[in-house]
Chain A
Amino acid sequence: MKITVIILQAVLLIAASPFISGFIKKLKNHIRMRKGAPLLQPYHNIVKLFGKDETISKDSSYIFRIAPYVLITTAVAAALLSPSFFPSFQISGTGDIFIIIFIFALGRFFTALAGLDTGSTFGGMGSSREMFISALAEPAFLVSVFAASLAAGNTGISSLLPGGVFKISLVCSGLAFYLVLLAETARVPVDNQETHLELTMIHEAMILEYSGKSLALIELAGHIKQLVLLSLLVYIFIPVGSGTGFYIIKIVAVAAVTAIIEVALAKMRLFRVVDYLIFSFVLSLAAVTAFIMGV
């Protein structure tokens, strides 16, 4: 029974995840006074890509072929482990919140290798930058979760779920986590999902050589990762209300904020991202300090 609910929950999350991306895109276009693509466009894209033939580079090896599968597996595994629609149903015995961070790292490792595998300069550049940003994002990522776990007294996901009460420490760590979330999901001001301009793309450069079903898998994995991170954010750092209804409302609200940020800000220069991520790290350390002071 329990296992069915957990799988159902993960399937729901996977099914809903492209919608969030579509929603952000639609909202951005509304703010820009454009009509924009329909809300369900990400679903159409995935279906379209699954229906297409695939072209791969002659220089590439099996790493290029298995990377999308590894990436989607890590995203789905993270979806299985993280709380979403029915937060009281959890797989027990698979560790804690840190595991989810490490699992995402596994997917990234293979995508970065795939970027290098085709021998294209873009791929290499994308891999290099992606690993650069993720290496710098990691400290803030872990310490913000660390701060929240200190308050909860454990790093286990189920003990983090109640979310505590609004305190300065929680706000600081939540903000730090959100900044990392923007970096990890390739959003403005760190990266831009909408562009394929050679000099600015990071995540897109890495997967430039993909087509057909592989690209579909990578895109789907991106949507899932985004929703998993959003779920963690709203459950751990926004302790308002409980139940599935509140969960959906909170997710949509955070997605709306993300859309506004994407419209309002410009993408940063690569080496400005260092400052951005260090700021996030300092914020998470401040959260720990605030927690110790009891505020």
Chain B
Amino acid sequence: MESFIVDWRLSFDALSIFFGFVILLVAIPSWVYSIGYMQGLYSRGRIRFAKILFFFFILSMLLVVFSSNVLFFLIAWELMSLLSYFLVTLDSHEEKASRAGLIYILMTHVGTTFMTAAFLIIYSYSGSFDFIAFKETCLLLPSTIKTVVFLCFVVGFGTKAGLIPFHIWLPYAHPEAPSHISSVMSGAMIKIGVYGFIRFVLFILGVSELWWGNLILVLAIISSVGGILYALMEKDLKKMLAYSSIENIGLIMLGIGGYMVFIKMNQPLLAVFSLAAALYHTVNHAIFKTLLFMCSGAILKTCGTKNMEKLGGLIKLMPVTAFCFLIGALSISAMPPLNGFMSEWLILQTLFSGALAGATFPKMKIFLALLTGLLALTGGLAAACFVKAFGISFLAGTRSKKTETANDSGWTMKAPMIFLTGLIFIFGIFAAPVFKVLIDTVSSVSGLNSGGAAFTFNVMSLAPRNNSTMSLNSLLLFGILVITEVTIFAVVKIITKKRTVTCAHTWACGYYRTTERNQYTSTGFSKPFRVAFSFILMPSRKLEKIRDSHYHVKAFKYEVHTKQFLNEYFYKPVIKRLFRFAEWSRKLQQGSVHIYIGYIFLAIVFLIVFLKRF
């Protein structure tokens, strides 16, 4: 029992420091943002309570990544889950928030159960909870046990990270939480799942079969495509961002799956490259997702709604928020030369290099080409999704009364948003130095040698394949775009010096003028996608005519819903069975003392027989 004493020592290796950095990168701006955000929305006491919770939540996340003992890790992990539960339900007067909290806490504990099971299995061999002891034991585990442990880890950490099919809590919890908490949850907390996966599967358990990596790649690409498809269907701004987090976790896991596959394909260089690309996307996603949640929080605060169909025209009323959201949207849709583009390009290069290198794995080549195609589809859908989000919420005319009085928020909210917008540019333009740090991080943690200055051509250029003729200097790319822009602008200015610009109403086909009700809606925008992907989304619509008389239709009522494939065919039946079982087992509890005494008697008889026999 001695080993159950928790070792409270912290360890700071390169991986922990990286994730600690990501957490702080998200937490500090969110902290500043929360000061302005909570003011006026909550009572004084509640704000103080939320601040204390927030502080301990961040602390618990840091403890998770810096712990060096499994028990300590678990305690911190549980603390993190519970604290975030209370933060999600901060708006607990709303029924939605408490329900979201319930789903969240349930799913999170399903995950923790699997994780704990995996830990106990390893512990039964090692007899110690230390990370190093775990690692040594894992080398000696029989392969079936290893597989079981691996699958437990996938469920456990996959649930926290929000990987499909364990994602169902995410679209409930993130939108219902106060916006600064959504930022931290999406920006940092789901990354802790990624951290756990990297730490325990990649570096403690070790990759022992090729199909492990393939499984992760498949789950990753399903998460990417599925996440962004559901995001595209959403008209709730924060829910859309929550689904897009699932997509981005998919992209990160693509890099991690790549690492696992390349290790087994005997391509250590590529493995390092792939994992570094995943880490790069991790930090990038932390930056832009935090930013986007902050912007939607600013909208929610001033307009009182996060429904895109009721917004519109905000670019004139909230110019700073609009600009920040635009940059975030461009980055998340992988537009050059911003940071989201750089990491997606690197992941793309990973897949390509893998296909190029695996000479003895012809099937892998086709698989990787297929993944590339689906990754491209994800990129295209993400662009559509964020064109919709920005276009519908910020452009054209306002769609509701309340939106007309919207205005930019105070400096405590604006400053962190502007700061993160700046980081998007910095992490995009200085991609090569950042990536070099990440390569060093990965090679120091994994023990795989990356060959010194590999993958960077010079200080500012990335070269995904060594000794290749191709390199990418993002500063140069940025420079070309800017210089071209300026030149063209100047030339056009000179040519058209005498021409005037007049303002007029939007053309309405010769009719008087268009109104806000003529504007394209979010639901309308995503219609083609809903039709084309109806085999996944299973849309259903309801059309109702409200009539004055037989001849005159006064109003139309149109509803369209999409279904969640997994909810419909997996979670709902499971939950139904569970309830039915609970209902059935209630018969045991009759309330009569006689029957209970009977139970005790039966239990004793059973125990006596059991002890005699075994």
Chain A residues near B (Cβ < 8 Å): 50-63, 69-70, 72-74, 76-77, 80-81, 91-96, 98-99, 102-103, 105-106, 108-109, 112-113, 115-121, 123-125, 127-129, 131-132, 134-143, 146-147, 149-150, 153-159, 208-209, 212-213, 217, 270-271, 274, 281, 284-285, 288-289, 292
Contacts and interface: CB of A to CB of B under 8 A. Distances in A.
A51 B375 CA distance: 44
A128 B520 contact: yes
B380 A134 contact: yes
B122 interface: no
Nearest to A212: B499
Contact of A94 (B477, B516, B524): B477
A135 B372 contact: no
Contacts of B532: 132, 136, 271, 274
B502 interface: yes
A109 B382 CA distance: 11
Given A53-B500, A106-B335, A213-B492, A127 B387 contact: yes
Contacts of A119: 395-397, 506, 514, 516, 518-519
Contact of B373 (A55, A81, A123, A140): A140
A35 B506 CA distance: 36
Contacts of A55: 501-504
A57 B503 contact: yes
Interface string B490-517: 0010011001111111111000001010
Main SS of chain A's interface residues?
A: helix
A204 to B, nearest CB: 13
Given A119-B516, A121-B520, A141-B376, A94 B370 contact: no
Nearest to B351: A146
B380 A138 contact: yes
B473 A109 contact: no
Interface in B355-377: 355-356, 362, 365-366, 369-370, 372-377
B333 interface: yes
A291 B484 CA distance: 38
A121 B519 contact: yes
Nearest to A62: B315
Contacts of A143: 369, 372-373, 376
Contacts of B374: 139
Contacts of B529: 132, 135
A76 B461 CA distance: 22
B391 A113 contact: yes
A150 B532 CA distance: 31
Contact of A142 (B315, B373, B395, B484): B373
9 contacts: A59-B313, A62-B315, A94-B480, A116-B395, A119-B395, A153-B356, A154-B469, A284-B373, A288-B355
B181 to A, nearest CB: 30
Contact of A96 (B333, B472, B505): B472
A95 B471 contact: yes
A116 B391 contact: yes
Interface of B: 313, 315-316, 326, 330, 333-336, 341, 345, 348-349, 352, 355-356, 362, 365-366, 369-370, 372-377, 379-381, 383-384, 387-388, 390-392, 395-397, 457, 461, 465, 468-473, 476-477, 480-481, 484-485, 488-489, 492, 495-496, 499-508, 514, 516, 518-520, 524-529, 531-532
A294 B120 CA distance: 50
Contacts of B376: 138-139, 141-143
A76 B488 contact: yes
Contact of A288 (B315, B366, B381, B516): B366
B384 A288 contact: no
Name which of B336, B391, B488 has the most chain A CB atoms within 10 A of its CB.
Answer: B391
Given A99-B477, A146-B369, A270-B528, A125 B470 contact: no
Contact of B519 (A58, A113, A124): A124
Contact of B506 (A57, A99, A292): A57
Contacts of A95: 345, 470-472, 477
Nearest to B364: A292
Given A63-B395, A119-B519, A125-B520, A99 B514 contact: no
Top 9 closest pairs, chain A to chain B, by CB: A124-B520, A156-B470, A135-B380, A116-B391, A119-B396, A95-B472, A131-B384, A139-B373, A138-B380
Name which of B315, B376, B469, B501 has the most chain A CB atoms within 10 A of its CB.
Answer: B376
Given A56-B503, A119-B397, 6 more contacts: A102-B336, A119-B518, A128-B520, A134-B383, A146-B352, A285-B366
Given A119-B519, A209-B507, A113 B349 contact: no
Contacts of B480: 77, 80-81, 91, 94
Contacts of A281: 373
A260 B507 CA distance: 35
B485 A285 contact: no
Main SS of chain B's interface residues?
A: helix
Contacts of A81: 480
A138 B502 contact: no
Nearest to A106: B335
A208 to B, nearest CB: 7
A25 to B, nearest CB: 25
Given A99-B345, A129-B528, A58 B504 contact: yes
A141 B480 CA distance: 24
A128 B352 CA distance: 31
A9 B469 CA distance: 21
Contacts of A208: 507
B456 to A, nearest CB: 12
A217 B492 contact: yes
A16 to B, nearest CB: 18
A138 B377 contact: yes
A150 B365 contact: yes
B470 A69 contact: no
Contacts of B341: 102
A53 B484 contact: no
Given A109-B387, A285-B370, A53 B519 contact: no
A292 B520 contact: no
B383 A61 contact: no
A127 B335 contact: no
A95 B342 CA distance: 11
A79 to B, nearest CB: 9
B525 A128 contact: yes
A289 B506 CA distance: 51
A102 B496 contact: no
Contacts of B519: 119, 121, 124
